[in-house]
Structure 1
Amino acid sequence: MTLPYPALHASHGGVWIATPDGDCRAISRGEAIRIAADTPVILLNAPLIGQRLGYADLSGLDLLELFAFLHPARFMVPTPKGLARVSGLEAPANDADIAPFLRAAAVKLLAVTEGNWPEREGAWNAVQSLFRLRWPWGPALSQRLAKPAQAERWLFSKLPEWTEQPPRVAPRTVTLSDADVADRLARLTGSGAEQRQGQRDYAAAAAGAFAPRDMRESPNLVLAEAGTGIGKTLGYLAPASLWAEQAGGAVWVSTFTKALQRQLGHEGERLVADPEQRKKRIVTRKGRENYVCLLNLEDALQGGFAGRAAILAQLVARWAAYTADGDMVGGDLPGWLPTLFRRNGSTALTDRRGECIYAGCPHYRKCFIERAARASADADIVIANHALVMVNAARGRETASRPTRYVFDEGHHLFDAADAMFAAALTGQEAIEIRRWVTGPESGSRGRRRGLAARLSDVAGYDEEGGRAIAEAVNAAQALPSDGWLQRLNEGEPFGPVEHLLAAVRGLVYARDVNGAAEAGYGLETELAEPDAALVEAAGPAGEALDALLRPLVHLGRRLEAVLTEAPDWMDGPARARIEGAVASLGWRADTVGAWLALIARIGGPADSAFVDWLAVDRVEGREYDIGLHRHWLDPSKPFAETVLKQAHGALITSATLRAGGDWDVAEARSGAVHLMRPPQRFSAVSPFNYADQAEVLIVTDVKRGDTAALANAYARLVVAAEGGTLGLFTAIRRLRAVHARIADRLAREGLPLLAQHVDPIDTGTLVDIFRDDPRASLLGTDALRDGVDVPGDSLRLVVMEGIPWPKPSVLHAARRLAGGGTAYDDRIVRARLAQAFGRLIRRADDRGTFVLLSAASPSRLLDAFPPGTRVTRVTLDQAVDRVRLSLASKLGQEAPANA
């Protein structure tokens, strides 16, 4: 089999092309762009290659798209090495070998179609649709795929249906014995595993969260700080699984990062060996916006999407037929797939706007979201995230199956998760979403987006009063911002009372800019204090408009509840479920509008000491994208305690940095424990690692702050000395981009690949996968990589941090700093961030590495953030480079490499 297409590869080290006649040569970027514009070319990751060529419109026969078509719901690391692994070819030795390798890999992948591969069903029909959409791979595949003898099942007929189950009985009251917990832990770790006393003690302490509750709204709360290497995952799964088994209840294990969710899924194999049983007993739950919406997907396949977005919809449909759970974000849909289409259309395939019509949907019985919800109701262990736990507790529909036992892993993030969950923001973007939810799409909009009247048409026909409420809500929503609102504000021509309010906010924020942020292009904000006359005058009409919207929404919710009570003849089980869903959705929107009214009432009124209120203009590189009023709890752990903890019977909150650089009082304050009647149990266990031998911290004293060239030089020399394997952490995206631009080519010449968050058009999870897969690669990133990366082994042997990660001096931070002890509050945040960053370095007993801090002005009082015994030394950059080189030589048991 031959392909009449050239293959193109570009890196920071150059550009190469391989022609069908076997010629391979280096070419200029300009020639590569000319060839790609005139001729279909085979390539790997078109957006990334296009960025390296400086040609954003690059397209061609992307091997990642071909792999996603042939093997939906399978993952590959999107690199030549990853492609070699899945195609069975030898990985190319250098950049010059990659272009001919891509042609060989294309032939190897297409050869799959010659037989009945596992994902054969549905491929022929999909190719016909993709051919009509002019997908570059369409002709090659249509020539090779024969029409099947029997008609292929269509996606929506292939997916299994879920069935209703009787409500789960309440958990039994049981007490776990220490011996049983120890036995369960021993079974999970394996008979041949080393018995770790720290892990055994941790499991015994965690069992306290599963004791019977003896006081209302006073859960058995355990705060457990366990250093890296204790084995806390199996430590808490032991009592959790034992309680679920004996009590017949579900334990919700909540995480903050997707990486830990995936890790917990893998650990589930130890709990339940049989895959089918494991699917029933261990379920992963996420917010509904993570799952593909089958109704949205059907609309996209039937003409709702055009161009590249329509091609993405076809590939997602292939995936939906084979996926385990329908999760588009962090599930088995490769994270790199939406980025190939610059996320054009991917978000429209999920229910991000709360427009679900529940039982009114023709695919309701096959819905991935509903299937996950029902599966979790009967599961032993439900793996969720902090945001979903809080959303379900605050406004969830599943009150009858609300869990009584929680484990909050990565508990140091609970404060921030609660901060986001219980906040209110009256902004242009939020307001326009409410308007669209109520009224439906603007005239001329594509797709199936529908407003209240369309979603509840049968209710309106049955209940006259409910119909009037819908009409009043649609009419009132016209006062909210509509398409083009931001441009009208920039031109000084706001339309409607809410746009006038946002215009007044914008004017006051710019007027109070004192640090030159407006000229620098950063976002702007100011306290909601002493408002000017324009803001006060705009608040009244805006409040009246929002009140006019809130009243019919509340009334409609009550009418729908009455419809449920009266149970008309047409209301069967599915119809009841749809009305219940509408009631919950209306309650959510009504709460949002009610919070906006409270925020508007603050304008010109007294401040509420429980909240922090401010005005903001959000900008990216000087371009405005949102404007509005914001309200956050001064202490968001209070609503978290009220809505989640007080309703639970027991909870374990655990982390390696739970005390956030402070003492137990800090842990109790940030976890919500201070708002409970019963004091929590405390447990701590230090890491078993020998940090004195395994790691050292170097503080570089001669890199001048603010000198970008010197900062870039430091990063480059350190990465070369470590021969890659470096995680570079930044506190500002601008500095990250500036450093990347200066060192990428230099490192490429050394044969050291460089990846960068906010630079490479690749999602963060995939960047980490690539980094983990290549010991010579390095990765630059910001906060998301500081504590969301688990890369044990040789792939991560050096962490470089550009400076002390001081908190951003925002209005919210200033208020919390004042309430939390001033400088001591800042220090606690910095210690926690340093500890989290250092924690990326040593993940296993055989890990070795160096942590470098490029900040001469690092206060000694902060250095206790590092584990006891860790060597901390202040050195020059030359000395740091030598130490990193020697550390690598020691790790590899060889002579130190040549000077960097």
Structure 2
Amino acid sequence: MTASLPHPALHASHGGIWLATAQETRQIGRGEAIRIAADTPVLLLNAPLIGQRLGYAELSGLDLLELFAFLHPARFAAPTPKGLARAVDLSPPDRDEDVAAFLREAAAALLAVPEGDWPEREGAWAAAQSLARLRWPWAQVVAGSIRKPATDERWLFSKLPEWEEHAPRPAPRTVAIEPGEAEARLVELTGEGSEERLGQRAYAAAATAAFAPRAVRDSPNLVLAEAGTGIGKTLGYLAPAAIWSERAGGAVWISTYTKALQRQLGRETARLYPDERVRKERVVTRKGRENYLCLLNLEDALQGGFQGRAAVLAHLVARWAAFSADGDMVGGDLPGWLPTLFRRNGPAALTDRRGECVYAGCPHYRKCFIERSARASADADIVVANHALVMVNAARGREVSTRPTRYIFDEGHHLFDAADSMFAAALTGQETIELRRWILGPESGGRGRRRGLQARLSDVASYDEAGGVAIQDAVEAARHLASDGWLQRLAEGQPFGAIEALLAAVRGLTYARAEQPGDAGYGLETELAEPTAELIEAAAPAAAALDALVRPLVTLGRRLEAVLAEAPDWMDAAARARVEGAIASIGWRAETVAAWLSLLARVGGPVDADFVDWLAVDRVEGREYDVGLHRHWLDPTRPFAEIVLKPAHGALVTSATLTGGGDWDTAEARVGAPHLARAAARFEAASPFDYANNAEVLIVTDVKRGDIGSLANAYARLIVAAGGGTLGLFTAIRRLRGVHGRIADRLAREGLPLHAQHVDPIDTGTLVDIFRDDAGASLLGTDALRDGVDVAGDSLRLVVMEGVPWPKPTVLHAARRLAGGGSAYDDRLVRARLAQAFGRLIRRADDRGAFVMLSAAMPSRLLAAFPPGVGIARVTLDEAVARVQARLGSGPGETLPKIATLGHEAALDA
């Protein structure tokens, strides 16, 4: 096969650039590489990444990742030479200079796949023909390897199974779990003869209280459980959850904050239901609508809605959809690296991000991934979701009868932040223009299948006169919302309409009062206090415009409910489902506009102590992208407790750092317990890990604050001392990029790959997969990596933080700080963040590593964030490098010398 593939292979890393042909492999310069890539189709791996390293953004060629996605849809391979080698069963290249030659070998191995037993053969020939018409670089090569099938193949939309409608599930029965039952089920799950973990048994017993029958309305059985890493929380709560679900006939919703934990739950539930077929029925993962492939959007893309490279992506996604387990494009079985290969917004256009679903009006409704997931969850025993979806369903759910009565909130320390996002209001240009598009549909010759409210509900308008009038009134009112080009008009001082005039006044006042942040060019904000006459004058007509919009939306919702109640002759099951979906969508948007009106009433009006209001101009590197007014609850757990917790019968909130940074009163306040009539039960179990011998904390005292050169030197020396395996955490993207730019080449010469968020054109989940896959690699990132990265073993043995993670001094933070005790509030947040970051280091009993803080100003009062017994020392950079090298270079059986330290308690008093 290699003989039929004459193309050269190109590989670029921070250590150099190599070109491999059939005759030789040679190192070349950047200019020659760009000339060759521009003139000759070359084999490469991850074109955007290679293009970035060459400084040639338009690099294209025969990307092996695209070929892999075509041949093996819904399979994952780490997008690295090592990951690809494992996927095609080849020996991985040992050195950077060997990668280019390996790519030629890997291409031959991939192209040999169609000649053998190929599970994903169906549909490949037809897809290859379509891709050939789009001039996909691999099309001609692939077409020669795939035989035309003897009979016509089933295409995606005919291949996908249809979901079936079932009778509503009855309400769960009232049952009680007897003492000892959860522990006995836990033994079954862990296996007879396994190591007895007393902490896990105690945890399972404590979690059982969340499944007891509720005694008083609006007073759920709330259990707060803090269990250190290694206790085995997942099986600990799955044991009583499974017992309750089996006996009560109800679903237990397990809510997480990160996709990593959702994947872990998918693995752990295999212990509950070893039979895969049974597990698919009993365990369902739910996500928001915007995560799933919309088949109608895909059909539009395949029929000309997408052009050029975006159209190629659509066909590769169609290949994937035919083999996907659930159609989840974000965190599911679609490789996270696939959309990033296309540098455009194509993936977003393939999901329902604008809430434009027509439900039963869609020709693919019976095959819809979203609807299938929703119906499967209605019959499941265990539903794995995320905090945001749980809150959205509780606040906007169409069926009150199907709401869960039992919740488990894992990663419960994130509930406050999730509620903060969910129950906030933002009257901004971006928000209003999205609402305008939802009501009016495409304007100014816009392409695509999107339709406005009139088109989506034309049959209702023709049947119900009052409903038709309401639709027309909503359409007319929506024309006063911000429209295309609004940002340019604001910059030129020529706003159009009442809403744009309001945004112009907001922008002017924000620039007048906001202080420039330390990272110049980023967002600006100022309190909504003492508004100017211009802002007050602009608020009145804006409120009138929004009032003219919300009234017909409310009327339309009522008219649609009346149409449902009357059940006219044309109202079949499909039409009913479509109208029900429209009622939910209209209700959601009417609530949004009502929240905007409430926010505008604050302009020139009285202060509401329950809320924090401010004005903001959102910018990225000096470029404005949004302007508006914002409102957040001072305590977002109040609506969370009211909407989610009170209707439930029981809830378990659990985390390894539930009290992180504070005490139990702090933990209760962060999850809404004080807003319930019944007190929460508490459980606490320390981690079984030997932190004293397996980990240490080093505080480096001689790295100059704010000096990028000194910071970069420290990171480079520490990463080299550890031999890679380093997670570098930053509090600012600018500093992350500055350090990466200075050390990537230096580390490459040591044979240590370096990856980075906000630098590499790769999604965060894939970056973590790459990091996990190579024990010599290191990863730099920001807050998203501080909590939620689960990398056990040698791949993560050193965590380096560039500074104390103080909260950003925003208007919202200032208000909460004032209400929460001033500097003590800041300290609690920082201790929680430090505890979460340290938690990345030791993930299993045999892990060992070091945690390094590059901050001479690290206050001793914050050291309580680290586990009791762990050694803490303030050292110079030279000492830290020597200590990291000694600790991480020792064999697993060697005993490390104790560090010269103040000791944990003494350090706190220093």
Q: Structures share a fold, TM > 0.5? A: yes
Aligned ranges for residues 309-320 of structure 1 at < 5 Å?
309-320=310-321
User: Which residue identity lines up with residue 553 of structure 1 in the other structure?
Assistant: L
Aligned to 1:705: 705
Distance, in Å, in 2 between the alignment partners of 1:842 and 1:716 is 22
Aligned to 1:120: 121
Distance, in Å, in 2 between the alignment partners of 1:488 and 1:891 is 65
Which secondary structure does the structure 2 equivalent of 1:96 belong to? helix
Aligned to 1:17: 19
Aligned to 1:783: 783
Asked if 1:757 is matched to 2:752, the reply is: no
Q: 1:386 to 1:895 in 2, by over 3 A?
A: closer
Aligned to 2:552: 552
- TM-score, length-normalised on structure 1? 0.99
Task: Report the CA distance between 1:397 and its aligned residue.
Answer: 1.7
Task: Report the CA distance between 1:410 and its aligned residue.
Answer: 0.2
Distance, in Å, in 2 between the alignment partners of 1:586 and 1:660 is 41
Distance, in Å, in 2 between the alignment partners of 1:113 and 1:177 is 57
Distance, in Å, in 1 between the alignment partners of 2:838 and 2:292 is 34
Aligned to 1:773: 773
Aligned to 1:632: 632
After superposition, give the CA deviation of every residue in 1:366-417 in whole Å (9 maximum; x if it has no partner).
0000000000001000000000000000001232211000000000000000
Aligned ranges for residues 424-823 of structure 1 at < 5 Å?
424-514=425-515, 516-517=516-517, 520-823=520-823
Which secondary structure does the structure 2 equivalent of 1:647 belong to? coil
Distance, in Å, in 1 between the alignment partners of 2:652 and 2:227 is 12
Which secondary structure does the structure 2 equivalent of 1:644 belong to? helix
Task: Report the CA distance between 1:445 and its aligned residue.
Answer: 1.0
Is this contact kept in 1: 2:474–2:553, CA < 8 A? yes
After superposition, give the CA deviation of every residue in 1:60-119 in whole Å (9 maximum; x if it has no partner).
110000000000000000000011111111101101110011011001101111234100
Percent pairwise identity: 77
Distance, in Å, in 2 between the alignment partners of 1:343 and 1:73 is 21
After superposition, give the CA deviation of every residue in 1:640-659 in whole Å (9 maximum; x if it has no partner).
00000000000000001101
Task: Report the CA distance between 1:189 and its aligned residue.
Answer: 1.1
Is this contact kept in 1: 2:85–2:92, CA < 8 A? yes
Aligned ranges for residues 379-390 of structure 1 at < 5 Å?
379-390=380-391
User: Which residue identity lines up with residue 341 of structure 1 in the other structure?
Assistant: F
Distance, in Å, in 2 between the alignment partners of 1:809 and 1:747 is 35
Aligned to 1:157: 158
Q: 1:127 to 1:804 in 2, by over 3 A?
A: same
Q: 1:22 to 1:344 in 2, by over 3 A?
A: farther
Distance, in Å, in 1 between the alignment partners of 2:526 and 2:710 is 34
Aligned to 2:7: 5
Is this contact kept in 2: 1:510–1:518, CA < 8 A? no
Task: Report the CA distance between 1:788 and its aligned residue.
Answer: 1.2
After superposition, give the CA deviation of every residue in 1:830-863 in whole Å (9 maximum; x if it has no partner).
0000000000000100000000000011111100
Task: Report the CA distance between 1:577 and its aligned residue.
Answer: 1.0
User: Which residue identity lines up with residue 335 of structure 2 in the other structure?
Assistant: P
Which secondary structure does the structure 2 equivalent of 1:40 belong to? coil
Task: Report the CA distance between 1:895 and its aligned residue.
Answer: 13
Aligned to 2:903: none
Which secondary structure does the structure 2 equivalent of 1:762 belong to? coil
Task: Report the CA distance between 1:517 and its aligned residue.
Answer: 3.5
Aligned to 1:173: 174
Distance, in Å, in 2 between the alignment partners of 1:873 and 1:663 is 25
Which secondary structure does the structure 1 equivalent of 2:652 belong to? strand
Aligned to 1:327: 328
Is this contact kept in 2: 1:308–1:344, CA < 8 A? no
Count of aligned residue pairs for this structure pair? 894
Distance, in Å, in 1 between the alignment partners of 2:482 and 2:889 is 62
429-438 vs 454-463, which moves further: 454-463
Q: 1:227 to 1:707 in 2, by over 3 A?
A: same
Task: Report the CA distance between 1:712 and its aligned residue.
Answer: 0.4
Distance, in Å, in 1 between the alignment partners of 2:544 and 2:769 is 51
Aligned to 1:223: 224
Aligned to 2:87: 86
Distance, in Å, in 1 between the alignment partners of 2:92 and 2:553 is 60
Distance, in Å, in 2 between the alignment partners of 1:262 and 1:520 is 39
Aligned to 2:188: 187
After superposition, give the CA deviation of every residue in 1:704-745 in whole Å (9 maximum; x if it has no partner).
111110000000000000000000000000000000000000
Is this contact kept in 2: 1:834–1:866, CA < 8 A? yes
Distance, in Å, in 2 between the alignment partners of 1:115 and 1:473 is 59
Which secondary structure does the structure 2 equivalent of 1:144 belong to? coil
Distance, in Å, in 2 between the alignment partners of 1:160 and 1:22 is 50
Distance, in Å, in 1 between the alignment partners of 2:6 and 2:458 is 55
Task: Report the CA distance between 1:343 and its aligned residue.
Answer: 4.0
Distance, in Å, in 1 between the alignment partners of 2:202 and 2:128 is 57
Distance, in Å, in 2 between the alignment partners of 1:502 and 1:517 is 21
User: Which residue identity lines up with residue 625 of structure 1 in the other structure?
Assistant: Y
After superposition, give the CA deviation of every residue in 1:437-489 in whole Å (9 maximum; x if it has no partner).
00001121111011101111111111111111111111110000111110111
Aligned to 2:246: 245
Asked if 1:392 is matched to 2:425, the reply is: no
Q: 1:642 to 1:379 in 2, by over 3 A?
A: same
User: Which residue identity lines up with residue 805 of structure 1 in the other structure?
Assistant: P
Distance, in Å, in 2 between the alignment partners of 1:894 and 1:465 is 81
Is this contact kept in 2: 1:392–1:398, CA < 8 A? no
Is this contact kept in 1: 2:791–2:840, CA < 8 A? yes
User: Which residue identity lines up with residue 427 of structure 1 in the other structure?
Assistant: T
Which secondary structure does the structure 2 equivalent of 1:520 belong to? coil
User: Which residue identity lines up with residue 31 of structure 1 in the other structure?
Assistant: E
Is this contact kept in 2: 1:244–1:250, CA < 8 A? yes
Distance, in Å, in 2 between the alignment partners of 1:275 and 1:346 is 30
- TM-score, length-normalised on structure 2? 0.97
After superposition, give the CA deviation of every residue in 1:152-192 in whole Å (9 maximum; x if it has no partner).
10100000000100111111111101221111101111113
Distance, in Å, in 2 between the alignment partners of 1:691 and 1:45 is 39
After superposition, give the CA deviation of every residue in 1:610-653 in whole Å (9 maximum; x if it has no partner).
00000000001111110000000000000000000000000000
Aligned to 2:277: 276
User: Which residue identity lines up with residue 360 of structure 1 in the other structure?
Assistant: G
User: Which residue identity lines up with residue 314 of structure 2 in the other structure?
Assistant: A
Distance, in Å, in 2 between the alignment partners of 1:895 and 1:641 is 49
Distance, in Å, in 1 between the alignment partners of 2:191 and 2:434 is 52
After superposition, give the CA deviation of every residue in 1:229-250 in whole Å (9 maximum; x if it has no partner).
1111110011011110111110
Unaligned runs of 5+ in 2: 897-910
Task: Report the CA distance between 1:217 and its aligned residue.
Answer: 0.2
Unaligned runs of 5+ in 1: none
Is this contact kept in 2: 1:225–1:683, CA < 8 A? yes
Is this contact kept in 2: 1:889–1:895, CA < 8 A? no
Is this contact kept in 2: 1:730–1:736, CA < 8 A? yes
Distance, in Å, in 1 between the alignment partners of 2:651 and 2:894 is 49
Task: Report the CA distance between 1:342 and its aligned residue.
Answer: 1.5
User: Which residue identity lines up with residue 161 of structure 1 in the other structure?
Assistant: E
Structure 1 residue runs of 4+, over 6 Å off? 893-896
Asked if 1:856 is matched to 2:856, the reply is: yes
User: Which residue identity lines up with residue 10 of structure 1 in the other structure?
Assistant: A
Task: Report the CA distance between 1:344 and its aligned residue.
Answer: 3.0
User: Which residue identity lines up with residue 187 of structure 1 in the other structure?
Assistant: E
Task: Report the CA distance between 1:519 and its aligned residue.
Answer: 8.9
After superposition, give the CA deviation of every residue in 1:577-621 in whole Å (9 maximum; x if it has no partner).
111110000000000000001111110000100000000000011
Task: Report the CA distance between 1:894 and its aligned residue.
Answer: 8.5
Distance, in Å, in 2 between the alignment partners of 1:810 and 1:735 is 20
Which secondary structure does the structure 2 equivalent of 1:387 belong to? helix
Aligned to 2:411: 410
Distance, in Å, in 2 between the alignment partners of 1:421 and 1:68 is 35
Distance, in Å, in 2 between the alignment partners of 1:536 and 1:520 is 29
Distance, in Å, in 1 between the alignment partners of 2:891 and 2:343 is 41
